[in-house]
Amino acid sequence: MTQPSPRLTRAEQRRQTEESILAAARQLFAELGYERTTIRAVARTVGVDAGLVMHYFGTKDNLFSRAAELPAAELSGGGEEIVDVLLASLASRLDGEPVASLAVLRSMLTNTDAAERYRAAAEPQLSQITTAIPTEDAELRASLLSAIVHGVIIERYLLRLGRLADASPDQIIELLRPCFQTLATADMPPSTVRPASAD
């Protein structure tokens, strides 16, 4: 051919291969979970040798760590209500297939130290939600909110149960909003409100 040098320098080529491996790993981890994803399968998907994957990432655990790195979703929201922030975050995770999230979620349900890592990553988010709730049981309420988010994602993408699999994100969000409201702001329905007890 006429090009004087290949389009990619050596370093670029390597970076690109690494990236491809990570993408394939993410995909497979999300589809199959940690155990059923083999290094050989990842390599085959990319079209390279399994030894190369080992050479770059050292170990399967390490490959998983790199593939499951979350962009550290910060739940950033300036003066907005926590409910809106949470719902927006959920909405974005309901759009398309959040491969990275699924890789983590699916694998942490079978792999113990994947769960450990995720727990560490989710802890700050949880306490962020907690501080935004003005009741004594704020911690529990925050955990419930988190559980609902996880439940919806798992049911939609992993369990594929019921109508959740093909519902539009907007519809889900709007149905969930009053639910989140009662959990986050502790305003009970009028009939259930208690006569302001101790202090």
Contact in structure between 141 and 184 (CB atoms under 8 Å): yes
DSSP state of 186: -
The answer to the question of residue 10 lying near DNA (CB under 7 A) is yes
CA distances from 70 to 6, 42, 132 (A): 33, 20, 23
Count of positions on this chain that bind a second copy (CB under 8 A): 55
Q: Kindly state the smallest distance separating residue 21's Cβ from a second copy, in Å.
A: 22
The answer to the question of residue 116 lying near DNA (CB under 7 A) is no
Closer to a second copy by Cβ: residue 43 or 108: 108
Contact in structure between 25 and 64 (CB atoms under 8 Å): yes
Matching residue, tokens 């302001």: 196
Supply φ then ψ for residue 165, to 5 degrees. Answer: -65, -35
Closer to a second copy by Cβ: residue 66 or 150: 150
Per-residue interface string for the shown chain with a second copy, residues 127-156, x marking contact by CB under 8 A: ----------x-xxxxxx-xxxxxxx-xxx
The answer to the question of residue 178 lying near a second copy (CB under 8 A) is yes
Q: Please identify, among the stretches 57-65, 73-81, 110-118, 146-154, the one whose residues bind DNA according to the rule CB under 7 A.
A: 57-65
Helix (H) or strand (E) holding 17: helix 10-36
> What residues contact residue 38 under an 8 Å CB cut-off, 6+ apart?
none
The answer to the question of residue 162 lying near a second copy (CB under 8 A) is yes
The answer to the question of residue 37 lying near DNA (CB under 7 A) is yes
Contacting residues toward DNA, per CB under 7 A: 5-6, 9-11, 13-14, 17, 37-41, 47-52, 54-55, 58-61
